[in-house]
Amino acid sequence: MDLINITACDREPIHIPGAIQPHGLLLVADRASLSVNMAAGDIEGRLGAGDWLFRPLSDFIGVALAARAAGAPEGPAGLFLGRIETAGAERLDVSVHATADALFVEFEPASTDPSPAAFVLSELEAATTEFQNTDNIQELCDVAAKKFRALTGFDRVMVYRFLDDESGRVVAESRREDLGSFLHHHFPASDIPRQARALYVRNLVRTIPTIDYQAAPLRPPGPAAALDMSDCALRSVSPIHLQYLRNMGVCASASVSIVTGGRLWGLIACHNMQPLGLPHDARSVCRALAVALAQQIKAREERETYREQMRLTNLSAGLVEVLAREGPLHEAVSNHLAELARMLRSDGVAILRGSDLIASGEGPKNQEISALARWIASRGKTSFSTDRLAQLYPEAAAYRARASGVAAAVLSFEEPWLILWFRAEKIEIVKWAGNPHKDAQAGAAGELTPRASFEMWSETVLGRARDWSLAEIEAAGRLASAVLEARQNWRVRDLNRRL
């Protein structure tokens, strides 16, 4: 049931809702003729244009803005055209983005407090410097939550980070003190379905000024129903998501993508308990700040990976010669097992060479190690790693507590010769926000409804160890190759000596 519903979530065509959120207005013009051929929202009432179909764009925004609109580059970024005052004294921000054959002109309530560019730029610079001055990713995210809250004025601002399985976790939060906290809460992947995540890599900011709105349909109805609105700021939002926010007790939402290396690393998720929008200029600042944040995250992740690689290289250098030594293992390597364990931050290690076995620290019993090593070697690959051994090798359930994680390097399949590292099971209490196993329930009429409960849900994940990093797995492989190479060199030297 979960599977069916989650794929249904992934399939909802959110880019063609056929409607906008009614706080704004939309005109769609043919890119060649600049005549308006679709519209949404109260064009008649707010722009005083009863008869809008096939009128030139300049009738609505003037010749100068229409000329600027015509020059908009194709793509999601778009241009800010300016601010207009309607006959009804409403001040509207006008922006445009272009596709191959259409211009999308959007009107939104103008920001009440437009800051001068110099002020905004200096704020951005100051925030970027603060980002740079943090010591690690956690501190960086804490500062980011505060900055985005100050910038947007939302009641609760969170840094939401995607994990390997596309579920996510709130890693930092700044909120009004009287509100509940979502810090450290875990949310299933289906809360932000795949097509939404793909859209959010391409266009970085979205806003829902109020969840209680009546969608304004695109007109005329025929072709408008299939119009791709991927990059419209006013795009009407999935009703499932609106219900989700309602269940969360949220009235207005905005989110900003954090994209590193073309991948959605996370989101800045903003909640407000009263209606609140994010005007065009504030969205631009959010985008710039999110790009600065993403750069800092990437730089820090790269620095951490580099440091880890250096550590691994230094530790393994001293071990190569020891591991390559001939003779019984207890004579050759017994004094170095702790070092070997430290190298991969493991709880225990073992080396098996033929019928000789040596082990130290936490891990399976010797007989169990021999059987496991034979199974690993039988897979025919020189390296192996898992953070949940019993799922692949059921016999390991018996020693789950001592070794749920295993990394191994196979130096010889024939002897066999293996180095194994073990990690104990980690007992982790995951705070799921709502029961993830009931994430999409069918409503009375069979339609999908998001989880109705945001009660915190705790779950203990059994049979899992801390996962092995790519740097650790690679280092294990490099260590094995270096040992084999050292041994080969000695053999050649030995042979030369004897000849």
> Residues interacting with ligand BLA, by CB under 6 A?
9, 12, 14, 158, 160, 170, 182, 187, 190-193, 196, 206, 208, 237-238, 240-241, 244, 253-255, 267, 269, 439-440, 448, 450
Please, what is the minimum distance in Å from the beta carbon of residue 471 to ligand BLA?
30
Residue 29: partners with Cβ closer than 8 Å, 6 or more residues away: 35, 36, 37, 57, 69, 102, 103, 105
Q: In what order do the strands lie in the sheet with 102-109?
A: 19-20, 216-219, 36-40, 25-30, 102-109, 91-98, 75-85
Residue 280: partners with Cβ closer than 8 Å, 6 or more residues away: 80, 93, 95, 108, 111, 233
Please, what is the minimum distance in Å from the beta carbon of residue 421 to ligand BLA?
35
Q: Which is nearer to ligand BLA, 170 or 480 (CB)?
A: 170
Please, what is the minimum distance in Å from the beta carbon of residue 490 to ligand BLA?
57
Q: Which is nearer to ligand BLA, 20 or 396 (CB)?
A: 20
- For the chain, the 3-state helix, strand and coil shares in percent, each to the nearest 5, are 40, 25, 35
Q: Which is nearer to ligand BLA, 206 or 423 (CB)?
A: 206
Q: Which is nearer to ligand BLA, 159 or 333 (CB)?
A: 159
Q: Which is nearer to ligand BLA, 114 or 217 (CB)?
A: 217
Please, what is the minimum distance in Å from the beta carbon of residue 394 to ligand BLA?
33
Record the tokens describing residue 239, joined without a space.
Answer: 């009703």
Return the amino acid letter for 6.
I
3 state SS for 286-306: HHHHHHHHHHHHHHHHHHHHH
Q: Which is nearer to ligand BLA, 260 or 469 (CB)?
A: 260
| Residue pair 160/171 in contact by the 8 Å Cβ criterion | yes
| Measured CA distances, 38 to 95, 280, 287, 299 (Å) | 16, 22, 28, 45
Q: Which is nearer to ligand BLA, 15 or 298 (CB)?
A: 15
Q: Which is nearer to ligand BLA, 274 or 355 (CB)?
A: 274
Query: CB neighbours (10 Å) of residue 413?
Result: 14
Please, what is the minimum distance in Å from the beta carbon of residue 187 to ligand BLA?
4
Please, what is the minimum distance in Å from the beta carbon of residue 256 to ligand BLA?
9
Please, what is the minimum distance in Å from the beta carbon of residue 474 to ligand BLA?
33
| Measured CA distances, 123 to 145, 288, 292, 330 (Å) | 15, 11, 13, 63
Please, what is the minimum distance in Å from the beta carbon of residue 10 to ligand BLA?
8
| Measured CA distances, 158 to 4, 17, 31, 65, 155 (Å) | 30, 27, 39, 37, 10
Record the tokens describing residue 89, joined without a space.
Answer: 């004294």
